Homo-oligomer: A and B are copies of this chain.
Amino acid sequence: MKIKDIYDYLDSLSPFDLQEKWDNSGLVVGSFEEEVKKVYISIDLDEELLSNMEENSLVITHHPLIFSPLKRVNFDSYSTKLLRTLIQKNISLISMHTNIDKTHLNKYVGKDILGLNLENSEEYISYAKVNSSFDKFCEEISKKLNIEELKFVKCSDEVKRVALVTGAGMSMISEVKADCFLTGDIKYHDAMDAKTRGISLIDIRHYESECHFTELLYSLIEKYLKKNKLTAIMANSKNPFSFYNTRRNG
């Protein structure tokens, strides 16, 4: 099967034209005319994952490998180092980023992973009524995402309505209409701002909130690939972060 055919199927599920201007979703590395047999799905690429992939295959990631356009290919950065291996093994790369955020991923994580009762969803933000104590809600979230130490900003003891943006969503804080905001990669100044606005924050982390892309996309394309004699493989890259806990490790 040609990459063009797989690309067209993905486009029918979640149109690439929906992506933001600054995004780079689509066929990032490789040629539409290439024939592939194996299709890997992963939130991202890393060296270990790539070393285990078969040559002449296709990998579909959530995040595009190339964000800042490349003027030098010196194998010293994330993009250029992995680009080399992709080319050496003739592996093609399609990324589905802000398009699938809008059409599937945010809602899937809210409903199927976090078990929230979603009420409505805007482009990147999903909303749910919660009505629970803040501490209890933290406990639930930490269990569902398997996060041992949950970082948060607490503005009140009760959570009434939450807003959810998987990945790194703090740039949307001024649009949030909720008393608690779940998103990842929350920085210090973001926290100071939210605290003053009176909006509680729970950091659901970038990797932990988006690694579900893999199972989600698998469920969306498995049948189609099978029918076309292609094997789909769920193969997430590793979370780059580890944690040293003085209580546990000390």
Contact = CB atoms under 8 A, between A and B. Distances in A.
Interface of A: 24, 26-32, 44, 46-47, 63, 66, 68-78, 81-84, 87-88, 135, 138-139, 142-143, 147-154, 168, 174, 184-185, 187-189, 191-197, 205-207, 237, 240-250
Given A46-B195, A73-B29, A77-B174, A244 B149 contact: yes
A171 to B, nearest CB: 12
Given A70-B69, A154-B242, A243-B149, A76 B188 contact: no
Contacts of A151: 241-243
Nearest to A86: B73
By Cβ-Cβ distance, the 8 closest A-B pairs, closest first, are A69-B69, A188-B206, A191-B240, A78-B193, A149-B149, A150-B244, A78-B196, A138-B244
A30 B75 contact: yes
Given A242-B152, A244-B152, A184 B188 contact: yes
B243 A74 contact: no
A46 B192 contact: yes
**Identical chains in the assembly:** 6
Given A69-B71, A142-B246, A245-B247, 9 more contacts: A29-B73, A30-B74, A66-B72, A68-B69, A73-B83, A78-B197, A87-B88, A88-B88, A139-B244
A168 B188 contact: yes
Nearest to A45: B192
A88 B73 CA distance: 13
Among A68, A184, A188, chain B packs the most CB atoms within 10 A around the CB of A188
Contacts of A237: 192
A192 B240 CA distance: 6
Given A187-B185, A196-B47, A197-B78, A152 B243 contact: yes
